[in-house]
Chain A
Amino acid sequence: MGGTADITNDAASLYRFVESIQTFCELQRGFPAYLEGSRVFLSLIEELSRSTKKYSADFPAGLPTNSDDYRVYRQELRTLRYGWYYVHRFVKPIADADTLRLPGSLINSLVRRLRSVESFGDSKLAILHIRELNYLQVIASGVREAITQISSFVGSSSSFPPDLGLIGIPYSQAKAVFLNSLIAHEIGHFVFEKRQLKDALALKIHAILNSTFAPVKDLVQKIGDSRRIPTAIADWSEELFCDLFAVRFIGPCYSYAFIEIFDLTNYLSRDGSLDKDAAALAVEFSYSHPAYLYRIQKQVEMLKSIGWWPHIRASQSTCQKILENSESLGTSYFSFPFGSDLQKYFIDCLDQVLTEIRTAIEESLKGLDTGVAEYSRLSRTVKDYLLEGVVPSTIRDPDSGKRIVPETVTVLNSAYQLYLDDLPELIGRIEGQDSASVEHRAKWTETLENWTLKALDDLALISAKTGV
């Protein structure tokens, strides 16, 4: 019977396809090592691979004799294959991101911090490498649906864990520490999704939109793409949520990394002021993202409102200059993709939405210390350790003289500040090294990042032992 042969061939093809995916998942059982979240994901896919292979092997035996049912039966294989197409895109990028190819200590520290928040106690992150120089959070619902669909077909009980987040980082930044502070933004997306804030904010955004734009209803209707306004506002809101979440979660190091990845310091004139012509692109909102400098402006407001500002404003770094310059930008300076006539209304609308966003962030991170108080007390000491070429995982309390253990936020922000402000001082203390040398600067930045990672790794061990 020709149908059986076709079915057997298709089933074998799927079997081979899934088996090849399974080989990547098997890596997590030996070397290299993976983060807990990545292990969970790869184990899940491995189990699903086994179930799918068994299903494929048994598939030809179930071929119905009735030719009407043949097409429907065969369709199962096709649907299953589509599910696996979707899963396929994540497996190798996660298998590639083993603990030697990502800043594991940093990510573990961020996860530990997130877990200290009620309702995020079981959170895990699987990290994947991506080609773009960008960071992203994979919307879990797509993966969840694909896995649920595969499971239901092949009779597996596997399901996508509700507390697992999938975050993509650029493969080239696998060993960076400071720039990877941007992961906090992606954790924001994870929290946004998990707390279903899109839905929660949607109603509020709708009401704000209606009231804000009511006086110019006719004008709005004249805009060709006015139907996109609600979606754009919703997308901007999510991005702003994630920015402000990141600042609240780990402090100013997020803003510094944001400035670095988007190369915003290039918009500074020689005298340290903002070159507004050069920065023209940085004040434009796109349909999906708020303008870079608007985002920075809002981050500065957050840094001020939670108490970071007095502790960072003395910095002479170019990052700090961008933060300060963003403040001076009037609201009229920002442009929107829907034309200039509604500019004022968009700003008003976002101001109101931001109030809701700040409330949502505080509710999401309820009980989580900002870390400002400890930073203000210990950052000088942490920097002194780093300037002495010493990993600051145990430091001498400047007040009591006792040996104490600083928190992640203190270590990360102190090290980043040192990188921005005092790297020449560190290099100047090392025999034969010159802070004017690009190579020397790159080398000692990497070393500083390694010391930071080591400190974060030590903190995890110490906290595991003390239960803190």
Chain B
Amino acid sequence: MAVVQSSEIQRRLGLSIKDPASLVITPLLNEKDAFSVDSIDLRLGSHFLLPQVPPQPYATLDSENPKTVPLHVHVPWGKYLVVPAHQTVLGVTLEFIKLPFDLSGQILTKSSIARTFVVIETAPWIHPSYRGCLTLEIANVSNTPLLLHPGVRIGQLILQVISPPPDPKEAVKLKGNYLGPVYPEAPKFKNLKDELGSIGITEVDLPGICANCKLPVT
């Protein structure tokens, strides 16, 4: 897989939207400063999801149990969000991205940000033909609260060529559980029993909950 150079990125940004090879990154503010030879800087958007303590004292990878609704927060331009030490928050890129059918992408924490011990992405891979703003799993792993100002450069997008390229006709259908998001997306899980059942695991244990104290009982 070869990393795509900035001249090729620029070329693809200029293609017609109907061309499956076209790339969109919008808005590109301070465009001249946004490009490195092999990456594009991405900025922090203004919407966040703050994790809430779940109603039951654990989380599962299950659509049914238990459901936690994160708190949606909008931080206007010029204002900031405080991420306490050792806390996490879901953010989103300011830029909306459409990847070409033959490129996949990775978003990496900008090195200057990483050196404050903040990680912005733990699932950095972006599939070809993806459309949407990118949800950022921001973790402040430092010992200091961090102020996040929407609009700051926070990540780098690196594009890679898929070799051999897939059939562009396959890119005609838009797909994906997360098509076109413009806000940070909370995780979407399948039914855990169905998910495990599909690979032959039919008995799935989940802790019972005490009706009075809401603590797990075994």
Contact = CB atoms under 8 A, between A and B. Distances in A.
Nearest to B173: A431
Contact of A431 (B15, B79, B94, B174): B174
A453 interface: yes
B29 A396 contact: no
B17 interface: yes
Nearest to A460: B77
A384 B182 contact: no
Interface string A269-287: 0000000000000000000
B170 to A, nearest CB: 11
Nearest to B13: A403
B180 A385 contact: no
Contacts of A33: 74-76, 79
Contact of A389 (B13, B14, B94, B179): B179
B73 A458 contact: no
Interface in A96-131: 98-100, 104
A390 B96 contact: yes
A353 to B, nearest CB: 43
B190 interface: no
Contacts of B131: 388-390
A454 B98 contact: no
A43 interface: no
A394 B17 contact: no
Contact of B175 (A395, A403, A431, A458): A431
A264 interface: no
A447 interface: yes
Interface in B20-78: 24, 26-30, 72-77
B16 A396 contact: yes
A450 interface: yes
A391 interface: yes
A251 B74 CA distance: 30
Given A381-B17, A384-B17, A390 B24 contact: yes
Interface in B153-196: 172-175, 179-180, 182-183
Contacts of A389: 98, 131, 174, 179-180
Nearest to B129: A389
Nearest to A390: B98
B211 to A, nearest CB: 34
Interface in B70-93: 72-77, 79
Contacts of B96: 390-391, 393, 454, 458
B17 A396 contact: yes
Contacts of A454: 96, 133, 182
B115 interface: no
A401 interface: yes
Contacts of B133: 454
Contacts of B73: 31-32, 100
B172 A429 contact: yes
A401 B73 CA distance: 38
Contacts, number: 91
A432 B183 CA distance: 22
Given A389-B131, A394-B28, A100 B182 contact: no
B76 A388 contact: no
Nearest to B20: A388
A451 interface: yes
A394 B24 contact: yes
A405 B27 CA distance: 9
Contacts of A453: 182
A349 B206 CA distance: 75
Nearest to A100: B74
Contacts of B13: 403
A71 B124 CA distance: 73
B174 A391 contact: no
Contacts of A214: none
B74 A99 contact: yes
Interface in A369-391: 381, 384-385, 388-391
A139 interface: no
Interface in A393-438: 393-396, 401-403, 405, 429-432
B129 to A, nearest CB: 9
A465 interface: yes
Contacts of B175: 430-432
B173 A429 contact: yes
B40 to A, nearest CB: 14
A385 B96 CA distance: 12
B105 to A, nearest CB: 15
- Most chain-B Cβ atoms within 10 A of its Cβ — which of A100, A391, A432, A458? A391
Contact of A461 (B27, B72, B98, B183): B27
B130 to A, nearest CB: 10
A219 interface: no
A445 to B, nearest CB: 13
A388 B173 contact: no
Interface in A178-198: none
Contacts of A405: 27
12 contacts: A99-B74, A99-B76, A381-B17, A390-B131, A391-B26, A391-B96, A402-B14, A432-B175, A450-B182, A458-B27, A461-B29, A462-B29
CB-CB nearest 7 A-B residue pairs: A394-B26, A431-B175, A454-B182, A391-B96, A389-B131, A458-B27, A430-B174
Interface of A: 31-33, 98-100, 104, 381, 384-385, 388-396, 401-403, 405, 429-432, 447, 450-451, 453-454, 458, 461-462, 465
Given A389-B98, A403-B13, A430-B179, 6 more contacts: A100-B74, A388-B131, A390-B17, A390-B131, A461-B94, A465-B30
